[in-house]
Amino acid sequence: MSRIVYVNGDYLPEEEATVSIFDRGFLMADGVYEVTSVLGGKLIDFAGHARRLARSLTELDMVMPMSEDDLLAIHRDLVAKNGIEDGMIYLQVTRGAPGDRDFAFPPEDTPQTVVLFTQNKPGLADSPAAKTGIKIISIDDIRWGRRDIKTVQLLYPSMGKMMAKKAGADDAWMVENGSVTEGTSNNAYIVKGGTIVTRQLSTDILHGITRAAVLRFAKEAQMKVEERPFTIEEAQEADEAFVTSASTFVMPVVEIDGTTLGDGTPGPVATRLREIYLEESRKAAI
DSSP state of 14: G
- Cα–Cα distances in Å, from 149 out to 43, 56, 114, 146, 207? 22, 5, 17, 6, 8
Q: Shortest gap between Cβ of 170 and ligand PDD (angstroms)?
A: 15
Burial of 158 (0-12, 13-18, 19+ CB in 10 A): exposed
Residue 185 in contact with ligand PDD, rule: CB under 6 A: yes
Specify the residue, 112 or 187, whose C-beta has the smaller distance to ligand PDD: 187
Task: Select the span of 19-27, 56-64, 107-115, 185-193 touching ligand PDD (CB under 6 A).
Answer: 185-193
* Nearest residue to 39 (alpha-carbon basis) of 207, 247, 213: 247
Catalytic, 150? Answer yes
Give the whole-angstrom CA distance, residue 143 versus residue 157.
8
Q: Which of 65, 208, 252, 266 binds ligand PDD (CB under 6 A)?
A: 208
Q: Shortest gap between Cβ of 98 and ligand PDD (angstroms)?
A: 26
Task: Select the span of 13-21, 95-103, 203-211, 272-280 touching ligand PDD (CB under 6 A).
Answer: 203-211
* Nearest residue to 116 (alpha-carbon basis) of 159, 84, 148: 84
Apex 42 CA angle, 37 and 48, nearest 5: 55
Q: Shortest gap between Cβ of 230 and ligand PDD (angstroms)?
A: 16
In the stretch 244-263, what mask flags binding to ligand PDD with x, by CB under 6 A? Answer: xxxx----------------
DSSP state of 272: H
Task: Name the 3-class secondary structure at 222.
Answer: coil
Specify the residue, 92 or 247, whose C-beta has the smaller distance to ligand PDD: 247
Q: Which of 112, 151, 187, 281 binds ligand PDD (CB under 6 A)?
A: 187
Q: Which 47-66 positions form the footprint of ligand PDD (CB under 6 A)?
A: none
Bridge partner residues of 277 (DSSP): none
Torsional sign, CA 240, 245, 250, 255: negative
Bridge partner residues of 139 (DSSP): 174
Specify the residue, 29 or 265, whose C-beta has the smaller distance to ligand PDD: 29
| Half-sphere exposure (Cβ direction) of 27: Cα atoms closer than 13 Å | 18
Q: Which of 118, 138, 198, 210 binds ligand PDD (CB under 6 A)?
A: 210
Q: Which 226-245 positions form the footprint of ligand PDD (CB under 6 A)?
A: 244-245
Residue type, 227: E
Residues in binding contact with ligand PDD, number by CB under 6 A? 14
Q: Shortest gap between Cβ of 122 and ligand PDD (angstroms)?
A: 18
Specify the residue, 42 or 262, whose C-beta has the smaller distance to ligand PDD: 42
Active site residues per annotation: 150
